[in-house]
Each structure stands twice: as structure tokens, then as C-alpha cells.
Amino acid sequence: MHKKFMTAVFVVFLAVSPRAMEGSRPHAHEPRLSHGELKALIANARTPADHERLAAFYRRRALYFMAQSREHEQLAHLYGDRTGSVEDPAYNMDRAARHCHNIAKDYREEAKEAMALAKLHEQMAVEPPDK
């Protein structure tokens, strides 16, 4: 019984993982930023193009975080469906479900923060701050 459950979790993970990464894949006009490039761009952003590039980065991050949130909600539901159906009392599926729900909630919050930064940089691209 436990083996079937773990197989189901693995199958869902494999099915969701490619979609989760779509949010972090750059488009042809939006190259991926390394950590060093991101730090340099944040420190030196002056032009509308710089801020648009940062906005695009944060939009992609928000999509990635939302995909991760959905993935963890799906895992939480899988655990929740198993609550009370495991013969061994050592398994606490309800606790695992709560854990996944909490992670999903954290990812949703990260997505909100990333979108807020994207909007900030979009605004700065249109109305650069005074020097």
C-alpha cells in the first residue's frame, strides 16, 4: 500500500515538474540572469531597458513560485487523501499534508513579493526616479 502511494507521489511530481519550470524558462528576448548579473543589474539599473529586464526577471520568478505552490497543493491533497488509510500509526499523513500546504502558502507569498518587485521596476522603466 505504501509503495503504491509513493509511486503516485512520484508520478505527480514528474507530471508537474516540467510545467513548474516553464515559469523560469526565459523567452528569446528575456535571457536568464545569473546571480552575479542580477546583483550587478540591481546595483546599476538606470535605464528603462534595465528596469524592464528586472521586471521580466521578477515576473518569471513569480510564475515559478506559483507553479511550485500548485505542485505542493497537489502533494498536500495526495497526503490528505491518505489520512486514516495507513495501517501503521507511525505514518502521520495529516502532518505531511499540513507541511505541503504551508510550503504552498509560502510560495504564494513569494510570488506576490516577486510581482510587487516586477511592478516596481515596470513603473521605474516608465518613470525613472529623479537623480
Flag whether 106 is in a domain: yes
Contact yes or no for 45/115 (Cβ under 8 A):
no
Residue 68 falls within a domain, yes or no? yes
* 66, pLDDT greater than 70: yes
Q: Is residue 46 part of a domain?
A: yes
Asked, for residue 25, whether it belongs to a domain, the answer is no
21 in any annotated domain: no
Whether this model's pTM surpasses 0.75: no
Q: Each residue of 5-26: pLDDT tens digit?
A: 444 444 444 444 444 444 444 4
In a domain, 78, yes or no: yes
Residue 77 in any domain: the answer is: yes
Number of independent structural domains in the chain: 1
46 three-class SS: coil
What confidence score (pLDDT) does residue 130 get? 63
Domain extent at residue 90: 33-126
Tell me the C-alpha distance between 120 and 53, whole Å: 12
What pLDDT was estimated at residue 31? 56
The percentage of the chain sitting over the pLDDT mark of 90, rounded to a whole number, equals 55
Residue at 45 is within a domain: yes
